[in-house]
Protein backbone atom coordinates (compact mmCIF):
# COMPACT_ATOMS: atom_id res chain seq x y z
CA UNK A 1 0.00 0.00 0.00
CA UNK A 2 2.88 2.40 0.78
CA UNK A 3 4.50 1.81 -2.60
CA UNK A 4 1.21 2.54 -4.35
CA UNK A 5 0.87 5.82 -2.42
CA UNK A 6 4.42 6.82 -3.38
CA UNK A 7 3.74 6.10 -7.05
CA UNK A 8 0.54 8.17 -7.02
CA UNK A 9 2.25 11.06 -5.27
CA UNK A 10 5.16 11.01 -7.75
CA UNK A 11 2.75 10.97 -10.69
CA UNK A 12 0.81 13.93 -9.28
CA UNK A 13 4.03 15.86 -8.58
CA UNK A 14 5.29 15.19 -12.10
CA UNK A 15 2.01 16.32 -13.65
CA UNK A 16 1.95 19.49 -11.55
CA UNK A 17 5.51 20.50 -12.44
CA UNK A 18 5.37 19.59 -16.13
CA UNK A 19 5.38 22.59 -18.43
CA UNK A 20 3.34 22.48 -21.55
CA UNK A 21 5.43 23.55 -24.56
CA UNK A 22 4.00 24.42 -27.92
CA UNK A 23 6.13 23.12 -30.77
CA UNK A 24 4.27 24.89 -33.55
CA UNK A 25 6.22 26.22 -36.51
CA UNK A 26 6.27 29.97 -37.01
CA UNK A 27 8.44 33.09 -37.16
CA UNK A 28 10.92 33.74 -34.36
CA UNK A 29 9.49 35.37 -31.25
CA UNK A 30 11.68 38.48 -31.64
CA UNK A 31 11.68 39.33 -35.35
CA UNK A 32 12.23 43.07 -34.97
CA UNK A 33 14.74 44.88 -37.18
CA UNK A 34 16.92 45.68 -34.15
CA UNK A 35 17.55 42.02 -33.40
CA UNK A 36 18.49 41.41 -37.04
CA UNK A 37 21.14 44.13 -36.99
CA UNK A 38 22.65 42.89 -33.76
CA UNK A 39 23.11 39.42 -35.22
CA UNK A 40 25.46 40.48 -38.05
CA UNK A 41 28.54 38.32 -38.49
CA UNK A 42 31.59 39.22 -36.41
CA UNK A 43 34.67 37.09 -36.12
CA UNK A 44 38.45 37.17 -36.16
CA UNK A 45 40.74 34.17 -36.66
CA UNK A 46 44.20 33.20 -37.76
CA UNK A 47 46.16 29.98 -38.06
CA UNK A 48 49.49 28.90 -39.48
CA UNK A 49 51.52 25.79 -40.29
CA UNK A 50 55.30 25.85 -40.48
CA UNK A 51 56.79 22.37 -40.75
CA UNK A 52 60.45 22.59 -41.69
CA UNK A 53 60.95 18.87 -42.42
CA UNK A 54 58.30 18.81 -45.15
CA UNK A 55 58.67 22.42 -46.30
CA UNK A 56 55.03 23.19 -45.53
CA UNK A 57 54.63 26.84 -44.61
CA UNK A 58 51.18 28.39 -44.99
CA UNK A 59 48.57 30.31 -43.03
CA UNK A 60 45.42 32.38 -43.10
CA UNK A 61 44.07 35.38 -41.16
CA UNK A 62 40.62 36.94 -41.53
CA UNK A 63 38.41 39.39 -39.65
CA UNK A 64 34.80 40.28 -40.35
CA UNK A 65 32.51 42.92 -38.96
CA UNK A 66 29.12 42.93 -40.69
CA UNK A 67 29.62 43.40 -44.43
CA UNK A 68 33.31 44.37 -44.08
CA UNK A 69 35.71 41.42 -44.38
CA UNK A 70 39.49 41.60 -44.70
CA UNK A 71 42.26 39.09 -44.46
CA UNK A 72 45.33 37.51 -45.95
CA UNK A 73 46.81 34.12 -46.61
CA UNK A 74 50.24 32.89 -47.61
CA UNK A 75 51.89 29.74 -48.91
CA UNK A 76 55.47 28.69 -49.51
CA UNK A 77 55.58 27.63 -53.17
CA UNK A 78 57.62 24.64 -54.37
CA UNK A 79 59.90 26.99 -56.33
CA UNK A 80 60.99 28.70 -53.09
CA UNK A 81 58.90 31.87 -53.33
CA UNK A 82 56.41 32.96 -50.67
CA UNK A 83 53.04 33.90 -52.18
CA UNK A 84 50.96 36.34 -50.09
CA UNK A 85 47.39 37.35 -50.88
CA UNK A 86 45.77 40.30 -49.07
CA UNK A 87 42.06 40.75 -49.71
CA UNK A 88 38.95 42.59 -48.63
CA UNK A 89 35.24 42.45 -49.24
CA UNK A 90 33.17 45.52 -48.41
CA UNK A 91 29.45 45.01 -48.94
CA UNK A 92 28.61 44.65 -52.62
CA UNK A 93 32.10 45.61 -53.89
CA UNK A 94 33.04 41.95 -54.26
CA UNK A 95 36.32 40.19 -53.51
CA UNK A 96 39.34 42.43 -54.13
CA UNK A 97 42.74 40.75 -53.86
CA UNK A 98 46.37 41.88 -54.03
CA UNK A 99 48.84 39.08 -54.79
CA UNK A 100 52.57 39.42 -54.00
CA UNK A 101 55.59 37.15 -54.23
CA UNK A 102 58.70 37.27 -52.07
CA UNK A 103 61.95 35.70 -53.15
CA UNK A 104 63.12 34.37 -56.46
CA UNK A 105 61.96 31.18 -58.12
CA UNK A 106 64.64 28.47 -57.97
CA UNK A 107 64.67 25.06 -59.54
CA UNK A 108 67.05 22.18 -58.84
CA UNK A 109 69.83 21.64 -61.41
CA UNK A 110 68.44 18.21 -62.16
CA UNK A 111 65.08 19.67 -63.18
CA UNK A 112 64.15 18.71 -66.72
CA UNK A 113 61.67 20.73 -68.67
CA UNK A 114 58.52 18.98 -69.80
CA UNK A 115 59.55 19.22 -73.45
CA UNK A 116 62.89 17.45 -72.88
CA UNK A 117 61.44 14.42 -71.16
CA UNK A 118 61.73 11.30 -73.23
CA UNK A 119 59.04 8.66 -72.99
CA UNK A 120 60.17 5.30 -71.72
CA UNK A 121 57.77 2.45 -71.06
CA UNK A 122 57.71 1.36 -67.42
CA UNK A 123 59.90 -1.56 -66.42
CA UNK A 124 58.00 -4.72 -65.57
CA UNK A 125 57.88 -5.66 -61.91
CA UNK A 126 57.66 -9.31 -61.01
CA UNK A 127 56.56 -10.30 -57.54
Arithmetic mean of pLDDT over the chain = 80
The whole-number pLDDT of residue 46 equals 96
On the question of pLDDT at 34 being above 60, the answer is no
Kindly report the backbone phi and psi dihedral angles of residue 82, in degrees, each rounded to the nearest multiple of 5, phi listed first: -105, 120
| 106-124: pLDDT as tens digits | 887 655 555 556 777 888 8
The whole-number pLDDT of residue 61 equals 97
| 67-108: pLDDT as tens digits | 899 999 999 998 989 999 999 997 777 889 999 999 999 887
Output the DSSP codes for 75-102. EE-TTS-EEEEEEEEEGGG-EEEEEEEE
The whole-number pLDDT of residue 17 equals 64
The whole-number pLDDT of residue 115 equals 55
What is the reported pTM?
0.54
- What separation in angstroms does the CA of 127 have from each of 60, 121, 122, 124? 46, 19, 15, 10
Amino acid sequence: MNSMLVIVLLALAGAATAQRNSYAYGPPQDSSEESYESSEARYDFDWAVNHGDSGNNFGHQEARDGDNTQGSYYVQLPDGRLQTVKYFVDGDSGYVAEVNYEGEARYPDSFESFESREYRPPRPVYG
